[in-house]
Amino acid sequence: DSGVTQTPKHLITATGQRVTLRCSPRSGDLSVYWYQQSLDQGLQFLIQYYNGEERAKGNILERFSAQQFPDLHSELNLSSLELGDSALYFCASSVEGDSYNSPLHFGNGTRLTVT
């Protein structure tokens, strides 16, 4: 158990809908990362927050947004969903804001299916 908690585990929704994925980082970790994993693209970095502030942005679509709250939990919001958004979404956390000094620890992911 990595200590990173993601909810829900599975999510099935229709195209055009909006969903929210939730992540609780490991106790003491200040940084939260969101990744998308699909068969064709592999594991893609979406966005990182450090202590409530956006730290880095990757290949995140404009229809997606995220935030990190004062209690350090994070939410990833996906809107106007398309079939291609079906994927595993992972949250990871680390103590520091950079991976040079502290490895990322991943949750078990949320499997999103858009029908």
Partner 1 sequence: SQELEQSPQSLIVQEGKNLTINCTSSKTLYGLYWYKQKYGEGLIFLMMLQKGGEEKSHEKITAKLDEKKQQSSLHITASQPSHAGIYLCGADSGDYGGSQGNLIFGKGTKLSVKP
Q: Does 115 interact with partner 1 (rule: CB under 8 A)?
A: no
Q: Does 109 interact with partner 1 (rule: CB under 8 A)?
A: yes
Q: Does 32 interact with partner 1 (rule: CB under 8 A)?
A: no
Among residues 2, 17, 80, 113, the one that binds partner 1 under rule CB under 8 A: 2
Q: Does 98 interact with partner 1 (rule: CB under 8 A)?
A: yes
End-to-end CA distance of the chain: 31
What are the Cα distances from residue 105, in Å, to 5, 12, 29, 71, 86?
A: 11, 26, 10, 18, 23
Torsion angles phi and psi, residue 70, rounded to 5: -55, -30
**For 18, what's the count of Cα atoms within 13 Å in the CB-facing half-sphere?**
8
- Residue 71 is given by DSSP the state T
Contact 47, 109 (CB under 8 A): no
Q: Which is nearer to partner 1, 31 or 85 (CB)?
A: 31
Q: Which is nearer to partner 1, 13 or 55 (CB)?
A: 55
Site string for partner 1, 36-65 (x = CB under 8 A): ------xx-x--x-x----xxxx-------
Which residues in this chain contact partner 1 in the complex, by CB under 8 A? 2, 4, 31, 33, 42-43, 45, 48, 50, 55-58, 88, 90, 92, 97-100, 103-109, 111
